[in-house]
Structure 1
Amino acid sequence: MATITPNTAYQYKLNIDLNEVDWQSVLNLFKAVAWKHRKADEIEGAFRNSTNTIFIYDHDNIIAFGRVVGDGRYYAMLADIVVDPDYQGKGLGKYLVKALNDQLLDYHFVNLTAAPGADRFYKSIGWKKQTTSYIWPQGPKQLRQHCEAE
């Protein structure tokens, strides 16, 4: 994968003190990318239970973030890779994925569940579609968006 140099106009914070994060801003960013049905306190809990986190700021505004859910050695999953729509197309998503993935050396499996329509982005940065992955759908929408037709 190509080296991605961060834009020096932004602040990149890997594994920061999560007490510094404005969780309402994070919730607002989820809403901006149409990921609904989330609550600020639940998002905070999810990030606190993550093994790695990254936030990108433009001045004091969170413009992108991501996290890793993992066991510390064998299995890790990138989650919640989100870039403010006003900042998309500037390499921030690629930077998030690379910076998080760089923290996962020597893991046996690193995977992610892409948002509907994001597969071209992940393929363009070297991710491969897994043939042995399964999901237990949590409702009809997830069944429709993430499962093969039977």
Structure 2
Amino acid sequence: MKEGFQMRICYTTDIENITQEGLQELFLSVKWESGKFPSEILKAIKGSHSVVTAWDGDKLIGLINALSDGVLTAYFHYMLINPSYQGKGIGKEMMDLMLDRYKGYQTKVLIAYPNVVEFYGKLGFKTEDGTTPMFISELI
């Protein structure tokens, strides 16, 4: 566990303390529809290649997960911070931990909503000419 700045923020790769309730609260705090499916989110997180979480005491306040082939490509699927904690460097710290974990990989990819493109750009992500993200989403 790595201690954070002035607050008592702790970062960990251990998923043992993640609960459905904690995930639901975090996902709904950023108004993501997937927060309505906490048991599925918990299964998804447990099935991830790796996970970094941020905690304020026993409260889950941030999460990033990676899906990977284990050699060449890492896809960062979820990256979210409770809005009450945004702008404090927590997202950057979590992403730095993930990028360090996958530093030898050829491709690191994510899909960014317009309001966070600048944030990810500062971390080294950029758009790639000729590509378009595409989805089939069953979320209501």
TM class, shorter-length: 0.7 to 0.9
Q: Which residue of 1 aligns with 2:98?
A: 100
Q: Which residue of 1 aligns with 2:64?
A: 66
How far does the alpha carbon of each residue in 1:19-57 deviate from its partner, in whole angstroms, 9 at most, with x for none?
321221111111111111441111111112211101111
Identical positions, percent:
24
How do residues 1-150 of structure 1 correspond to structure 2 at under 5 angstroms?
6-7=4-5, 9-14=8-13, 16=14, 18-38=15-35, 39-138=37-136
TM-score, length-scaled by structure 2: 0.86
Q: SS in structure 1 opposite 2:132?
A: coil
Q: Which residue of 2 aligns with 1:142?
A: none
Aligned-residue offset at 1:128? 1.4
Q: SS in structure 2 opposite 1:102?
A: helix
Distance 1:107 1:125 in 2: 16
Aligned-residue offset at 1:7? 2.1
Q: SS in structure 1 opposite 2:26?
A: helix
* Structure 1 portions without partners, runs of 5+: 140-150
Letter in 1 for 2:57: H
* Structure 2 portions without partners, runs of 5+: none
Distance 1:105 1:137 in 2: 27
Distance 1:50 1:132 in 2: 28
How many residue pairs match? The answer is 134
Give every structure 1 segment of 4 or more consecutive aligned residues whose post-TM-superposition deviation is greater than 6 Å.
Answer: none
TM-score, length-scaled by structure 1: 0.80
Distance 2:55 2:117 in 1: 25
Task: Say whether the 8 Å CA contact 2:12–2:54 is kept in structure 1.
Answer: yes
What is the CA RMSD across the aligned residues, in angstroms?
2.0
